[in-house]
Chains A and B, each alone.
Chain A
Amino acid sequence: MDPMAAYALRRLLWAVPVLWAVATITFFLMHAVPGGPFTQDKALPPAVNDALNRRYHLDKPVWEQYGLYLWDSVHGDLGLSFQGDRSVTEIIRNTFFVTAQLGVLGFLVAVVIGMTLGTMSALNHNGPLDYVGVAFSTIGASVPSFIMGAFLVIFFAVDLGWFKTLGWGGPRHLTGLLDPFAWDWRRMVLPVVAISTLPTAFIARITRASVLEVLNQDYIRTARAKGLAEVRVVLRHTIKNAMIPVLTLMGPIFANLVAGSFIIETMFSIPGLGRELVNAVIRRDYAMIMGTTLFFTLIITLANLAVDLAYAVVDPRIRYR
């Protein structure tokens, strides 16, 4: 087997004990936290509480519940949410489809604008473009997303009426991805801008620093001394080598964006997975907490693997065994 493929397979297999450990820790932490799914100020009568516990098998000892959960999840059953008895798998599928659209669009915006801005800043070091780029990345990195979101909503939706604020404008089903009528861009622009501002700023800063560092390397001086065209120096010798630190950042940024944002999803009433995880914890919706935690673990594991593999592609010095 190709050593790199073997490495990828090994890393994927490692995900199994990681998932088990996360499931175990989350399960027992969740049950250790005060209050349960049926706890409320106006306490339910004991008979009602007992009936609900029996219905959801919460009357069994915690160890037995843990065993049942592991058994069911290995068989692909993540259980039912207490919020309406809906299947956790179905909720994750539907909400992640929305969150992933928001995250991928936010990621694309962040990568394209961030890298362009960072490269332009570096190439125009201490020039006007550099100042614009640095100013943007400083503001973008220091303004929290809830302030940015609120500003965008008040200015562009409430005052100017250019965009809408209620819900997500993307399709709800895979088939809708290719249907132009399933997209309502007026409901997409503001959340995408709000979610991508911070990662755009980060990517711009890292790109700028990295390009500047590479531009000062001896081999760039050599390339220029050889009389290579500046375009070739920048595109072939600078950008590619400057991308390694940026790639390092992209994995976590991508994982973070597709895992959703509670703030952005709440602010724009977007039915995404980020909002669901927080709501599940608030409601002590056990199956949803477990399902979303495991799902996020999987995303982060895979995103990190993808970045590690990408290193080998970009940097020939890296070898995986």
Chain B
Amino acid sequence: MNVRNRWILLLAAPMAVALTLAAACGGTSSTDKTATAAAGGAGTTPTSTQTGGLPADAAPASQQKITMQSTEPQFYDPHRSNFEQDIAVERMLFRGLYNLTDDGSGGVKVVPGDAAGPPTISGNVYTVKLKSGLKWSDGKALTAADYVYGFQRECDPTVASPYQYVLGAGLGDLKGCDELFNNKDATKTQALKDALGVKALDASTLEFTLNRPVATFETIWSLWATFPSRQDVIQKFGDKWTDPGNIVVNGPFTMSELVPKDHVTLKPNPEWSGQKPAIQQLTIKFIDDLSAALKSFQTGELQMTAIQPTDVKVVKGDPSLSSELVIDPTARITAIEMQLKDPALAKFDVRLALSRAIDRKTLVDVVFDGVYTPATYWVVKGLKGFQGNSAFDSTIGFDKAAAQAAMASAGYPNGQGFPTLKLTLTDTPSNRNLADFLIKQWKDNLGITVTPDFVDGKTRSQRFNSGNFQLFPGGWQLDYPDIENPLVGLFDTGGGNNKYNCSDPAIDAAFKEATNATTEAARIAAYQKVETLVVTKLCGVAPIYQNAVPYLVNAKVGGVVPNGTIDASGPGTYCVECWYVKK
């Protein structure tokens, strides 16, 4: 080979690499076009008159643009969603029969959404009238049949909704939903769908048949899993029905652009009959790294973002950023979860010693810069039936002497002879701080050795769900704002989420009392009894703090109404139509 040929080959080699890669990648993408196309009929730019009455301090419509941070949603289909980032966007795109809103005192209340009012109840039959004039984003009327189809999808095993169980036994108890979901014989599917306890009596009347009266009907029927769906659209586009250009929605916004892994852009839905959104363009950037998001907020590229609790100190020290800080408590309690099958942890006194040895206030101040709230309660603040620290501090709260006495009473004075326990955590910087703090507290106050076991998130979850753990800083994030949600299934003998192996006849009896309660007050009182028994007996959990999510909201963004203690998906995402950009 002569020299000239060698140089040609040298040039050809990278070209060959590039061509091979291009072939492997398939060249230009037809899907990309779909993903960036304007949203069909719903993509019409709303006129300024459609924005309705803007607040007096609102900037002109042309400046009503916001870019916010979020983790990337997995799906935009309410019947397939499992994560709060999905649900936050879905509540912008869709609405259900009922809505959740801030009750003004840190909690949440249910208000009618597409429903004209509360249901009419006759035994197990709940009848709901729809508001008049409801439309989908393509201009077609929204009817009761769209809701019926939505419920059929939710209970359909081929859709495989992760939240089907909220309509199943013990919760929503919609007649026939579990039977349809558990069916594996395709020939029976249609008959089971027809037998489902939801009927359209006429275009604007829905009738639900439940297996029992459900006190939380309106709350559960406000969840994303109960949102309506358009049968014609889903049948036409299949799994691609949520792509821009295909998606048809009934909420305040519609999707105008989606670039997977990067961002989704929403525009006002011109057919939305509720409060007209002021924001004309809402871009949601998918950013997992909250430190990066904080920098982008500082450069003005983001107007709203969540930040890490560990960044709060820095933000509070910055005169400009501190005025833009919003800390929303979330409906999540973190506890030291304990495996009761473990011989050491089976002893109540050991659990009591471990709980009483933790100085929760110092923990929150030192590890989380005071962002979280120290807690010995399990039912979160904001829920009806909340009992708070005053009910439990004296029993399980920090008290070094009491902790040492309990350890001695368990047969391990000054920790002598106590086995080494393992604390399983996901490997993150803040969890490393948390582990250091807890281990030192137990060492200093009880004289025992606990070793950290850092693993990745999925391994940790797998160990927890298989009961393969001893001490596990975990907790419960509410699915819906009702006192039953953090209790049912977690502490009843054989409960699906009872990974602690908590089994106590008194707790089981209190659960029965709650199920059989005939009044709301009696139901709440019975669940308070469950919480009291669970916490004072440390039946698997020793609560340590209630979580919160700190956000930065640009001073120019107004109308950010707190969600109330229910969801951490973003500041005020439940009323996105309330947001506006100030002058």
Contact: A96 with B25, CB < 8 Å?
yes
The interface stretch among B43-51, B153-161, B369-377, B438-446 is B153-161
Contact of B160 among A40, A51, A284 (CB under 8 A): A51
0 or 1 for each of A163-203: is its CB under 8 Å from B? (1 = yes): 01111000011110000000000000000000000000000
Contact: B462 with A39, CB < 8 Å?
yes
Q: How far is the CA of A303 from the CA of B20 in the complex (A)?
A: 11
Q: How far is the CA of A276 from the CA of B72 in the complex (A)?
A: 12
What is the interface of chain A mostly: helix, strand, loop, or mixed? helix
Contact: B461 with A40, CB < 8 Å?
yes
Any B CB within 8 A of the CB of A44: yes
8 Å CB interface, A199-217 against B: none
Contact of A302 among B20, B31, B164, B165 (CB under 8 A): B20
User: Which chain B residue has the least Cβ–Cβ distance from A308?
Assistant: B13
Any B CB within 8 A of the CB of A228: no
Contact: A47 with B181, CB < 8 Å?
yes
Contacts of B239 in A (CB 8 A): 85
Contact: A164 with B456, CB < 8 Å?
no
0 or 1 for each of A270-293: is its CB under 8 Å from B? (1 = yes): 010001100100111000000000
Q: How far is the CA of A40 from the CA of B161 in the complex (A)?
A: 15
B310 to chain A, nearest CB (A): 15
Any B CB within 8 A of the CB of A135: no
Contacts of A82 in B (CB 8 A): 74
Contact of A167 among B74, B262, B460 (CB under 8 A): B262
User: Which chain B residue has the least Cβ–Cβ distance from A55?
Assistant: B160
User: Which chain B residue has the least Cβ–Cβ distance from A168?
Assistant: B262
Contact: A306 with B13, CB < 8 Å?
yes
| Given A41-B474, A165-B299, A276-B261; A306-B17 close (CB under 8 Å) | yes
Q: How many residues on the A side are at the interface (Cβ–Cβ under 8 A)?
A: 75
A235 to chain B, nearest CB (A): 16
Any B CB within 8 A of the CB of A230: no
Contacts of B27 in A (CB 8 A): 174
Contact: B285 with A35, CB < 8 Å?
no
The interface stretch among B188-196, B265-273, B289-297, B511-519 is B289-297
| Given A94-B32, A172-B259, A299-B21; A158-B9 close (CB under 8 Å) | no
Any B CB within 8 A of the CB of A266: yes
Contact: A310 with B10, CB < 8 Å?
yes
Any A CB within 8 A of the CB of B56: no
Contacts of A284 in B (CB 8 A): 458
Q: How far is the CA of A33 from the CA of B457 in the complex (A)?
A: 12
Using A48-B181, A271-B262 as known contacts, list a sample of 12 further A-B pairs with CB atoms less than 8 Å apart, ordered by residue number in A. Answer: A33-B458, A97-B25, A153-B295, A157-B299, A167-B263, A173-B28, A173-B29, A266-B289, A298-B21, A298-B24, A302-B20, A309-B10
Which 10 pairs show the lowest CB-CB distances between chains A and B? A35-B458, A271-B261, A35-B462, A51-B160, A313-B6, A313-B10, A166-B301, A306-B13, A271-B262, A166-B296
Q: What are 28 A-B contacts with C-beta separation under 8 Å?
A: A34-B459, A34-B462, A35-B457, A36-B458, A43-B465, A48-B162, A82-B74, A84-B74, A84-B75, A86-B260, A90-B29, A92-B25, A94-B260, A95-B261, A161-B299, A164-B301, A165-B292, A165-B296, A166-B285, A166-B299, A172-B32, A172-B259, A173-B32, A269-B292, A302-B17, A302-B20, A306-B13, A306-B16
